[in-house]
Chains A and B, each alone.
Chain A
Amino acid sequence: MKKMIVFFAAGMVLGLGFTAWNVKGIEASEVQRGKDIYENKCQMCHGPKGNGNGPAAAAFNPKPASFTDPKFWKQKDINKIITNTIEHGHGMMPPMGLNPDQIKAVMDYIAHAFKPGS
């Protein structure tokens, strides 16, 4: 009986550890996926540093959003705003043609990479 409990507990620990490692691996790959999408689709205007100063942004009026600006993240329902803008476009920014998984990946990336305090 004791052996069974120890065996079961060891299995639980190993299983949880494996799951945690796997989740971390999945999260890392999701961030990488978001980074790939950002570099391919967003960086041109929003810049490699997320400050709205990409190569195409010089003549934009208004400028592309800066993800390093705390005011950007303080907007009400910011996640909804970002999703809506990526889906439908806003001003000079056209709809980006991303599916929901891709939108989530790139949102996770910009929050991870550029949000002040992240």
Chain B
Amino acid sequence: MLWKMLRTTWIGWVLIGGWMLFLPPNTHALPSFARQTGMSCTTCHTMWPELTPFGRFFKLTGYSISKSTKPYEFPPPLAGLVQLSFTHLKKDLPRKSIEDNWATHVTSTDNNVLSLPQEMSLYYGGRIYRHLGAFVQGTFDGAENDVMLDMTDIRYANTTTLWNKQLIYGVTVNNSPTLQDVWNSTPAFGFPYAASPIAPTPAASTIIDGTLDQQVGGMGAYVFWNNMIYAGGALYRTTDHGITKILGAGTTVDMETDGIVPYWRLVLQRQWRKHYLSLGTFGLTADIYPEGMHHGPTDRFTDIGLDTQYQYIVKSHIFTLHSTWIHEYQDWNASFDLGNTAKKSGHLNTFKIHGHYTYRSPIGDFGGSAGFFSTTGNKDILLYAPGPADGSRTGSPNSNGLIFELDYQRLEITNFLSLKCSLQYTLYNKFNGSHSNYDGFGRDASDNNTLYFLLWFMF
């Protein structure tokens, strides 16, 4: 029955895609940022959500650039998103490891999953008043069957001069470290921009790479001088209670931080003719209670990242290269005493490099990506224990592989609709420490190879 539905759905998607290919492009701007500025989506984005230099500038100036002479936007800059997806795993997961609900449909073999929807979101995206703007996302997560406050970035920005050069300065309230960043080489808006909600992922990741999203909220400030040097920082605290609780609305806090979590960011960028290059560093330090605990000793994580981004943008051709390396030092002060780790300290290194090419045509944008990812760290048989599908037989977190993606993007199909289609293939060479039988239950790294198809509607 699912295959019948899948076939019908595929036919529907192909028909929709074919119809959209031949619609004439509409120069009216949308969604809400485009509606606010009157500019095309391609002014700020290459292959959505990656930003152009102007897109970075729009975000740095507080999402407040507007074609309106009024100090506020009317109607309010609202937008929406719907993601529909299909995931195929090379080998099915252990029985009933994926929850079947009204949005997530699993075949009897547990290796094909339709997510209808994977996600639905509503946004406030744009100017609030004068130099104050916001990017606030409320999301229904289809896999979790849950509603939450998602990415939230409210910022005030203005301009002045320093040493006779332009200076942008701003303050931001947000709920994810690196969400305030304008480069696509940091975790919040890094590649891949969307992924399967149910495919297995390596056991280990750094704290700054999504673990603290909506688990913390905080305030930061930044300056951007002479279109060349960016410096910023933020202080976060847990969203479990207190003044920042609202920034974690709908999220279960299972990584409660103790005290303040400082974050820093420094970038040097240069634009010359059609080329763009940035080099940066970022990081944070967090004291976190072991999972499920809310008081007592904490573990400490210190993440330091280096990143770089190159872009070449002309009329019909765009080429982008991103690279990110993060080193995490782990102090298992609390978890070791609880018997959750075999060692009192450890480390983790992650490395990603990704290249993307986009061709802009009258019938839409066509693009392709190739990326390499790697995670390495010290062995710890208790921290990375054996377990079906998500465990490690050797106690090693080491994983690496390749991601390939084909994209088609049709922006401003009508006044209120844009579409992106992505076909993504993730190929694992090593998963949780091994190439074969990585979990101790006979599963190989390649069994987690994932084919993922996404329809991404924006309005």
Contacts and interface: CB of A to CB of B under 8 A. Distances in A.
B54 interface: yes
A44 B57 contact: no
Interface in A36-62: 39-41, 43-44, 55-56, 58-61
A15 interface: no
B167 to A, nearest CB: 8
Contacts of B42: 94-95, 97
B38 interface: yes
Given A44-B65, A44-B67, A94-B52, A61 B39 contact: no
Contact of B38 (A40, A61, A90): A40
Given A58-B159, A97-B40, A88 B314 contact: yes
A70 to B, nearest CB: 24
B414 interface: no
Interface in B234-289: 271, 273-274
B27 A60 contact: no
Interface string B101-118: 000000000000000000
Interface residues of B, number: 33
A91 B54 CA distance: 9
Interface string B65-79: 111000000000000
A108 B339 CA distance: 75
Contacts of A61: 165-166, 226-227
A43 B68 CA distance: 11
A65 to B, nearest CB: 15
A88 B315 contact: yes
A13 interface: no
Contact of A41 (B38, B57, B159, B360): B38
A60 B61 CA distance: 11
Nearest to B224: A59
B54 A59 contact: no
A44 B39 contact: yes
Nearest to B40: A97
Interface residues of A, number: 22
A92 interface: yes
Contacts of B37: 44, 56
A68 to B, nearest CB: 20
A41 B227 contact: no
A46 to B, nearest CB: 13
B313 interface: yes
Contact of A56 (B53, B65, B224, B227): B65
Nearest to B67: A44
Contacts of B40: 41, 96-97
Interface in B17-37: 27, 29, 37
A39 B67 CA distance: 9
A41 B66 contact: no
B43 interface: yes
Q: Shortest 8 CB-CB distances between A and B: which pairs?
A: A59-B159, A61-B166, A95-B315, A58-B159, A61-B227, A56-B65, A88-B314, A87-B315
Given A43-B67, A59-B60, A60-B57, 19 more contacts: A40-B38, A44-B67, A56-B61, A59-B168, A59-B224, A60-B227, A61-B166, A88-B274, A88-B314, A88-B315, A91-B53, A92-B57, A94-B43, A94-B44, A94-B53, A94-B313, A95-B42, A95-B313, A97-B40
Interface of A: 39-41, 43-44, 55-56, 58-61, 87-97
Interface of B: 27, 29, 37-40, 42-44, 52-54, 57, 60-61, 65-67, 159, 165-168, 224, 226-227, 271, 273-274, 313-315, 360
20 contacts: A39-B67, A40-B27, A41-B39, A55-B67, A59-B61, A59-B159, A60-B57, A88-B314, A89-B274, A91-B53, A91-B271, A92-B54, A92-B227, A94-B43, A94-B44, A94-B52, A94-B313, A95-B313, A95-B360, A96-B40
